Structures are given as structure tokens and as C-alpha cells.
Amino acid sequence: MIIAIDGPSGAGKSTVAKAVARELGFSCLDTGAMYRAVAWRASEDGISFEDDAALGELARTYDIDFKHEEGDPLPRRVLIGGVDVTDAIRTAEIDRAVSPVSAAPSVRAALVDQQRRIGRAGDYVVEGRDIGTTVFPEAEVKVFLTASAEERAHRRVRQNVDRGVGSIDYDEVLADIRRRDDYDSSRATSPLRPADDAVQLDSTGHYIEEIIREIVSLACAKGAAPESEDAQ
């Protein structure tokens, strides 16, 4: 089974996806981390974020891997070409770079192929921006998760404070989120939008646990079996 969770930056997709995967005993695929890894590699190599051909070649050349702890379906480390970039891809610089990189058609083609190979090998919760519309249009469960730009900015700042990585300036983070929303929604290749059959959930003013329970319930209605009775 594939559970597709799409939505804008800072909506809580990664947190929700990991929790849903734990509840259901699924694996979790963080597609956003894949695009961030390509953006990091391009930045390190001095490749223009507007050079579609060069970005596509990079995305095809470097394998992106996720490292798991034994018995844990959730990835703990992100590597590109064998280099651990788990922390390096969560900086303000990569926040700004990932939108143009992810909009590059050649990059999307290279990474979508890899995502499909991984996802179709088992039960996965997959989060991103075009999972239900482009990557896995056949997904049994599709969710479009959003929240107000202001709430997403507050969450991102708190997250950056906790991690010690990324900007903690609220105005800067809010401006970046609004810029990325505009960019992702208007790009020519796989723009950010809900799938026609997606369940739309707005987490503004709601505890994240409520969203998790709702998605687990949707999956159970499609035949998924939770790991514990408490998840139902």
C-alpha cells in the first residue's frame, strides 16, 4: 500500500509521515530530502540552479540512500554519493535552493524513477509535493496537508531552534515559505496542487496527533492493519 502525503513547505508532512509509518508498520520515504540532497550537491559543485541539463546529469550520477536503524522503518541518515548530508540539507541556503532544483524536469524524472522503484517494493508512506498527482497516482490513500503560512513559519523556526540548523528569524522564514509556495504552485513541471481524489487536511490550530489519527483511519479503511489497537 502507498499512502501519499502532499502539501506545501512546513505543513508538517515529514513529522506526520513518520508517525503514520510507525503506527502502521510501514516504511517512510522522504522525497523532499532527495531533492535537497541534489540541491546540496549542485551547490557544492558550483552548478547553476537554472541549468536543467547539468542538474539532471548530477541527479542521475549520484545515488541517494537512506540509512535505517535495525527494526526501525524510518530513515535516520541521508546520503548522496556516499556522503552523509543529513544536517547539511536542512540549512536556510538549501531551503532557498531546493525549489528551483526540484522544478527542473530532468531532476524530477531522475528522482521519480527511483522513488517508484523504492515505493512499489513494499508498504510506504511517501511525502512530497506531487506524490499523489505524479509519482504514485495509483496510491490507495492520498492526503493534501496544509496550514497557514504564519503557522508553518512558527513551526519551522521552532524546528530550526531544536536542531540548531537553519534560520531562526521568523520574518525571514515566513518570506521563504511564501516565496516557495508561489514558486511550487506555479512551476510548469508537477506544480503543487491536491490530487482530485485527495483528502484535504488543514492542520492550522490542530494538534498534529489529530492529523495522524485521521490518516491512519483512512489507511485502515483501505485495509491497512495498525501495529497496535491504540492506533485505531
Domain that holds residue 20: 2-215
- Looking at residue 203, what DSSP letter applies? -
Across the range 96-110, mean pLDDT stands at 91
pLDDT grade for 152, boundaries at 50, 70 and 90: very high
For residue 4, CA distances in Å to 8, 86, 94, 198 come to 14, 23, 24, 9
Tell me if 125 is assigned to some domain: yes
How many domains would you assign to the chain?
Answer: 1
Tell me if 224 is assigned to some domain: no
Cα separation, 192 vs 128, whole angstroms: 9
CATH number at residue 44: 3.40.50.300
For the chain, helix, strand, coil in percent to 5 are 50, 15, 30
Tell me if 231 is assigned to some domain: no
Per-residue pLDDT reduced to its tens digit, 214-231: 999 999 999 988 775 554
Tell me if 227 is assigned to some domain: no
Per-residue pLDDT reduced to its tens digit, 4-22: 999 998 898 988 999 999 9
pLDDT at 76: 84
pLDDT grade for 232, boundaries at 50, 70 and 90: very low
